[in-house]
Chain A
Amino acid sequence: MTEKNVVTAVRDALHDEMANDERIVLLGEDVGARGGVFRISDGWMAEFGEERVIDTPLAESGIVGIAIGMALHGLLPVAEIQFADFIHPAFDQVVSEAARLRYRSNGDFGVPMVIRTPYGGGIHGALYHSQSIEAFYAHIPGIKVVVPATPGDAAGLLRSAIQDPDPVLFLEHKKTYRSIKGEVADGAYLTPIGVAEVKQEGDDLTCISYGYSLHLCLDAAHRLAEDEGASVEVVDVRTLAPLDVDTIVSSVRKTGKAMVVYEDNRTYGAGAEIASTIAEQALFDLDAPILRIGGPDIPAMPFAAPLEHYFMEPEPDHIYARMRELARA
């Protein structure tokens, strides 16, 4: 075991996969000579060569399209979108092509590619470097959407994503990059895509989350245990699509209460899908209405520090207060 932060875990896993499989290529804006804006691929162009660590122009549709073509023809591309906010020009390539090619060809070919991109707020990135984009893509059958929250999951899930025969959108929350540290097992272990994990066991209520929000939930749960002795089960979905319904529902059946917490705009967000799934499958096990906490419905995260903070924490101890309310219900 080695303690790492998330960005180091991502870097190490990606590096080891590239060293082990020559079919893997990395492409994106500034990933080569510069080594990426988060320095994940620093020095790799020299190590792996310009054929495998590829600087692209600022052309997201082209980046994803090129990666699809590579994947159709024997390579395992890992395309980096520098910030998730920049992925929208590539929406058509992801949705119309990457997610659809296997189905429309009736299995004649597939697209074994990964799109890695940093998302989420909390680093003063303002309106175009802070967005959560997961809901757009989790709606689309044909592409998997992975949202690790911890260094260990980031490493294991990234390896699984690279080895997956189908396209994977791998979302790395920027705020976790350096602020979240954890023990990472040595060796090339795989964390399965589509499997949630109970990050903390409990009996009184189930709190479901992912990404940076998961850590806010864990923190609130710890404080609530100390303050009131409440026992909160915290479920990290880890993958939004395919969604691990079994883990979520069995936890809710056990505790009888459910809350879903996510940073993305609340309306039509991933939490809506999770909440409705719980309602469909476990309504009569519930002792209180499902609580859904999402980001405000404004078009993007604003710049000024108080505004950004308010987006992520709308009121003091927001998650804690509402978790306590639900626990007492």
Chain B
Amino acid sequence: MSDTDTAEGTEVADLEARLSIYRMMQEGRLFEERARDLFLQGLVKGTSHLGIGQEAIAAGFAAALEPDDLVFCTYRGHVHTLLRGAPMAALMAELLGRATGICGGKGGSMHLTDVSHGAMGSYAIVGAHMPIAAGAAWAAKARGTDQVAVCFFGDGTTNIGTFHEALNLAAVWALPVVFVCENNLYMEYTAIGDVTAVEHPAADRASAYGLEPILIDGNDADVVHTTAVRTVARARSGDGPSLVEAVTYRHGGHSRADPGKYRPDEEVAEWLRRDPIPSYRERLLAAGADEGTLDAIDRDALAAVDRATEEAREAPFPDPDTLETELWADGGSAWRN
């Protein structure tokens, strides 16, 4: 990672903001660990894609956004959605497919939306949300709302057409959008390097769209946050889009069914050592944070996850009558008279 930016020499946020970033990472981590547990208990059906190990990217950006900014993310989007301010119990209930879920149980793990908090959807078709994010950014710009769109995507997205179409359009129109590649080195089950013509799948493509290549350590929350502040400010001031490649690692496999055995043991061990949360805790302590404060954040985060879990588990399943609702603006689904 010698060619990525590090926290050294970059101006970091004040301690209060960094404690907030720590809290967000911890909430995200505990939420997803609980989701994993609920899967193992058979309470969450289907599949799920966890971002355990990648929280610094979601938190670093979340801390740099205004409440009405617009976030688009992928099927690995629990934490991004949560950190927009979506209610945790409703998110957990959605994962459990309950009526009180954020999408009434229609979406599930991979398709979370909370428009009132600027969570504009997690998208399960790789790359499909990139032009959509650009379009929302166009609307924000045209309406003069001062909002910025942030679009998270994985390294695998960089080889699909919409990635290139969206970046070109955003650059041509100088749209207020930040594209954030969460490069966790694996495109599902395949090393991204095995299927990509360049070493850095996003950053090495930036020049094709007249953009600055930005390659950062995605496990360093301070670096992510500093980059987020800079790129979001650039977008908000009308100077156009950015493409950020944040290198990270998922601690688990691609999805619930994947033990991730295709990854060398030493590689996994190295990245577990670089877990973004313990190292950030150490750094905050060194910067003068009170250990009791950090402990309280940990306790509160766990308590919040416990409450959300309890609430979600007690919630009813959706009434089958809701199956054919909300297709059209009138709330119904009349497909013929």
Interface residues of A (CB under 8 A from B): 25, 51, 56-57, 59, 61-62, 64-75, 77, 89, 92-93, 96-97, 101-110, 141-142, 164-166, 194, 241-246, 277
| B129 neighbours in A (Cβ, 8 Å) | 97
Given contacts A108-B113, A109-B115, contact A69 B104 (CB under 8 A): no
Which of B42-50, B136-144, B199-207 has 4 or more CB atoms under 8 Å from chain A? B136-144
Asked if B161 is an interface residue, CB under 8 A from chain A, the answer is yes
Asked if B134 is an interface residue, CB under 8 A from chain A, the answer is yes
Complex contact A66–B125 (CB within 8 A): no
**A247 to chain B: closest residue by CB:** B337
Complex contact B139–A104 (CB within 8 A): no
**A107 to chain B: closest residue by CB:** B326
Complex contact A141–B139 (CB within 8 A): no
- Residue from the list A59, A93, A106, A245 in contact with B326, Cβ < 8 A: A106
- Residue from the list B140, B149, B326, B335 in contact with A102, Cβ < 8 A: B326
- Residue from the list A73, A92, A243 in contact with B125, Cβ < 8 A: A92
Q: Give chain B nearest CB distance to A163 CB in angstroms.
A: 11
Asked if B288 is an interface residue, CB under 8 A from chain A, the answer is no
| B137 neighbours in A (Cβ, 8 Å) | 69
Given contacts A65-B131, A105-B115, contact A70 B327 (CB under 8 A): no
Complex contact B162–A73 (CB within 8 A): no
- Residue from the list B138, B161, B328, B335 in contact with A70, Cβ < 8 A: B138
| A75 neighbours in B (Cβ, 8 Å) | 138-139, 142-143
Q: Which residues of chain B in 103-158 are interfacial with respect to chain A, using CB atoms and an 8 Å cutoff? A: 103-104, 106-107, 111, 113-116, 120-121, 123, 125, 128-140, 142-143, 149
Asked if B257 is an interface residue, CB under 8 A from chain A, the answer is no
Task: Kindly name the residue among B140, B149, B161, B328 whose own CB sees the greatest number of chain A CB atoms within 10 A.
Answer: B328
| A241 neighbours in B (Cβ, 8 Å) | 335
14 more CB-based (< 8 A) A-B contacts, given A75-B142, A93-B132, A108-B113: A25-B142, A56-B169, A59-B168, A64-B131, A66-B135, A66-B138, A69-B135, A77-B135, A104-B111, A105-B115, A107-B331, A108-B116, A109-B120, A244-B336
- Residue from the list B130, B139, B165, B327 in contact with A73, Cβ < 8 A: B139
Task: Kindly name the residue among A65, A67, A68 whose own CB sees the greatest number of chain B CB atoms within 10 A.
Answer: A65
Q: Give chain B nearest CB distance to A224 CB in angstroms.
A: 29
Asked if B277 is an interface residue, CB under 8 A from chain A, the answer is no
Interface string of B76-118 (1 = CB under 8 A from A): 0000000000000000000000000001101100010111100
**B329 to chain A: closest residue by CB:** A165
| B138 neighbours in A (Cβ, 8 Å) | 66, 69-70, 75
Complex contact A61–B162 (CB within 8 A): yes
Asked if B215 is an interface residue, CB under 8 A from chain A, the answer is no
- Residue from the list A73, A77, A108, A166 in contact with B140, Cβ < 8 A: A73
Q: Give chain B nearest CB distance to A134 CB in angstroms.
A: 15
Task: Kindly name the residue among A104, A141, A241 whose own CB sees the greatest number of chain B CB atoms within 10 A.
Answer: A104
Complex contact B135–A70 (CB within 8 A): yes
Given contacts A92-B125, A97-B132, A107-B331, contact A74 B143 (CB under 8 A): yes
**A194 to chain B: closest residue by CB:** B337
| B165 neighbours in A (Cβ, 8 Å) | 57, 59, 61-62, 65
Complex contact A57–B169 (CB within 8 A): yes
Q: Can you identify 15 A-B contacts, CB atoms within 8 angstroms?
A: A57-B169, A57-B172, A62-B166, A65-B166, A68-B132, A69-B131, A71-B135, A73-B135, A77-B135, A102-B328, A105-B107, A106-B104, A109-B113, A141-B335, A242-B335
Complex contact B161–A108 (CB within 8 A): no
- Count residues of chain B with CB under 8 A from any CB of chain A: 48
**B107 to chain A: closest residue by CB:** A104
Q: Which 9 interchain pairs have the tightest Cβ spacing?
A: A69-B135, A65-B131, A62-B165, A165-B329, A73-B139, A66-B135, A106-B104, A69-B136, A105-B113
| B286 neighbours in A (Cβ, 8 Å) | none
Given contacts A104-B111, A245-B336, A246-B337, contact A65 B121 (CB under 8 A): no
Asked if B279 is an interface residue, CB under 8 A from chain A, the answer is no
Interface string of B267-298 (1 = CB under 8 A from A): 00000000000000000000000000000000
Report the bound CA distance from A246 to B334 in whole Å: 13
Task: Kindly name the residue among A62, A69, A105 whose own CB sees the greatest number of chain B CB atoms within 10 A.
Answer: A69
| B133 neighbours in A (Cβ, 8 Å) | 69
Report the bound CA distance from A51 to B143 in whole Å: 10
**B326 to chain A: closest residue by CB:** A107
Asked if B237 is an interface residue, CB under 8 A from chain A, the answer is no
Asked if B333 is an interface residue, CB under 8 A from chain A, the answer is yes
| B166 neighbours in A (Cβ, 8 Å) | 62, 65
**A196 to chain B: closest residue by CB:** B337
Q: Give chain A nearest CB distance to B281 CB in angstroms.
A: 35
Given contacts A51-B142, A65-B135, A245-B337, contact A73 B326 (CB under 8 A): no
Complex contact A242–B337 (CB within 8 A): yes
Report the bound CA distance from A74 to B106 in whole Å: 24
Task: Kindly name the residue among A25, A62, A109 whose own CB sees the greatest number of chain B CB atoms within 10 A.
Answer: A62
**B110 to chain A: closest residue by CB:** A104
Report the bound CA distance from A105 to B116 in whole Å: 12
Task: Kindly name the residue among B107, B138, B172, B331 whose own CB sees the greatest number of chain A CB atoms within 10 A.
Answer: B138
Task: Kindly name the residue among A61, A92, A105, A277 whose own CB sees the greatest number of chain B CB atoms within 10 A.
Answer: A105
| A67 neighbours in B (Cβ, 8 Å) | 135
Asked if B301 is an interface residue, CB under 8 A from chain A, the answer is no
Complex contact A66–B328 (CB within 8 A): no
Q: Give chain A nearest CB distance to B203 CB in angstroms.
A: 21
